Amino acid sequence: MDYGPKAPIQGNMTRLLNWLLLGYLALFPFGQLARLPITFFDSPEVSIYLTDLVVVLISVIYLIGIWQGKFKWPPLAGNILGFLLAALLSLSAASFWLGWRELFVSFLYLIRLASYILLYGTVYNLARNKPTRKTLLNSLILLGVVLAVFGWLQYIFLSDIRPLTIFGWDEHYKRIVGTFLDPNFTAIILVLALILTPGVKTRDILIWLFLFVTLLFTYSRSGYGAILIGMSVVSWMTRKPVFLATSLLLILSGILFLPRPAGEGVRLSRTTSIELRLQNWQEALTIFKSSPLLGVGFDTLRYVRQDSLSHAAAGVDNSILFILVTTGVIGLVIFLSLIVRIWIIFGRKREIMVLASLSAVIFHSMFTNSLFYPWVLGWMAILFCARIPRSSAAGMNARKNLSRFLRDTPLLAVGRDSLGSKVKS
């Protein structure tokens, strides 16, 4: 049997994936500006971004590589597959009340989620040595800096984005909302960049201060809380309270000295957003009661609320509630087991950057659906691959991952033995 062609084919595939990953990183800081001005199947609620198209293409090539035995499944593949199956099951149950077009649109968003998860698998296979993983971390920091620069350009030249409310965006005035057109999502990316930046070199300190001041001008209270949570983890694990103390001091200074132009959004004592968020949570719990086991279907909330155009109608201002409402108790249990598994893997090796970032995102997701924000998913996928302990995945392949998933998931106990026998065959 001739094995000669495999090496060059794999090399070509790897080079193509490297170029596509570079393209994704280049498009990342453009945020909503990378949105294509087209509708998909006459569905205005479907937003198509260049970043999503690149990630989907990366995922397809990665799956081809998996099929041909050229790439491996990454660690956590079984746990992630479990959540995707729960989301698919919930969406299948929703087919009894959704029309085919609504079901197709919701399925597209599930495909997007799966694509970003496959991005994690792709980068895991590409980042095989320490120099590559270090380059990935530096790239993330650079993305944070570029995003901050774009944020200041928006603040200077387009400080009033209230006219964009006709396109479904929230009213914001004299705040850094950046290319995401949302101060909260801009804030969490800045927080994640800040967590990766701490250092003793003058350059690192200047970058950190620049990012932090940019974060302050988002006036995002969830962003302020996220950086405090992240730096608390860093201080606790390094036994250096200076990180938390510095962050707390800068936030207190910001509260005292940040400019207060006219507008509700820049008042840190504002209560309107709190009241709206509480209403959002109460509505989500009411919807959950209608289908507690499987949920109403992944990403079908816009149809449950009968509002397909508003950006807010598609989600819940709390990622845990979003999972509970859309995938039910089954999906939430599997998702929480995934989070625990992530914490165990990275906790054993004391991967401070990952644990601090994960803690910050989880806290932030209690007030905004940031866990499922595509740019957060992409960031965390790259960060995981840059820091994941390689020994935890030694010898792991597709069959072993699937077998582990079937063995460790009690909710799939029915039929598990028969499926397991097929995997072995």
Q: What is the pLDDT of residue 166?
A: 73
DSSP-based three-state secondary structure for 249: helix
CA pair distance 51, 179, nearest whole angstrom: 13
Q: What is the pLDDT of residue 416?
A: 41
Q: What is the pLDDT of residue 312?
A: 58
DSSP-based three-state secondary structure for 344: helix
| Percent of the chain topping pLDDT 70 | 81
Q: Give the pLDDT confidence of 158-214 residue by residue, as tens digits.
A: 888 877 777 667 777 789 999 999 999 999 999 999 999 877 688 889 999 999 999
Confidence tier at 323 by pLDDT (50, 70, 90): very high
Residue 397 has pLDDT above 50, yes or no: no
CA pair distance 6, 254, nearest whole angstrom: 57
Q: How far does CA 168 lie from the centroid of its chain?
A: 22
Closest alpha carbon to 142 in 83, 214, 207: 207
Q: Name residue 106's amino acid.
A: S
Q: Give the pLDDT confidence of 86-105 residue by residue, as tens digits.
A: 999 999 998 888 888 888 88
Q: Name residue 90's amino acid.
A: S
CA pair distance 139, 145, nearest whole angstrom: 10
Q: Name residue 302's amino acid.
A: R
Confidence tier at 113 by pLDDT (50, 70, 90): very high
415 vs 75 pLDDT, higher one = 75
Q: What is the DSSP string of 62-113?
A: HHHHHHTTSS-PPTTHHHHHHHHHHHHHHHHHHTTTS-HHHHHHHHHHHHHH
| Percent of the chain topping pLDDT 90 | 55
Q: What is the pLDDT of residue 174?
A: 85
Q: What is the pLDDT of residue 265?
A: 55
Q: What is the DSSP string of 204-231?
A: HHHHHHHHHHHHHTTT-HHHHHHHHHHH
Closest alpha carbon to 277 in 306, 325, 318, 223: 318
pTM of the model: 0.86
pLDDT, averaged across the chain: 84
Domain boundaries, the chain: 6-394, 396-425
Q: Name residue 65's amino acid.
A: G
Neighbours of 40 (CB within 10 A): 14
Q: Name residue 367's amino acid.
A: F
Q: What is the DSSP string of 113-129?
A: HHHHHHHHHHHHHH--S
Q: How far does CA 178 lie from the centroid of its chain?
A: 17
Q: What is the pLDDT of residue 406?
A: 46
CA pair distance 242, 246, nearest whole angstrom: 6
CA pair distance 188, 227, nearest whole angstrom: 8
Q: What is the pLDDT of residue 415?
A: 39
112 vs 10 pLDDT, higher one = 112
* C-alpha dist (Å) from residue 422 to 19, 41, 402, 403: 37, 39, 11, 10
CA pair distance 139, 27, nearest whole angstrom: 12
Burial 197-234 (b: 16+ CB within 10 A, else e): bbeeeeeeeebbebbbbbbbbbbbbbbbbbbbbbbbbb
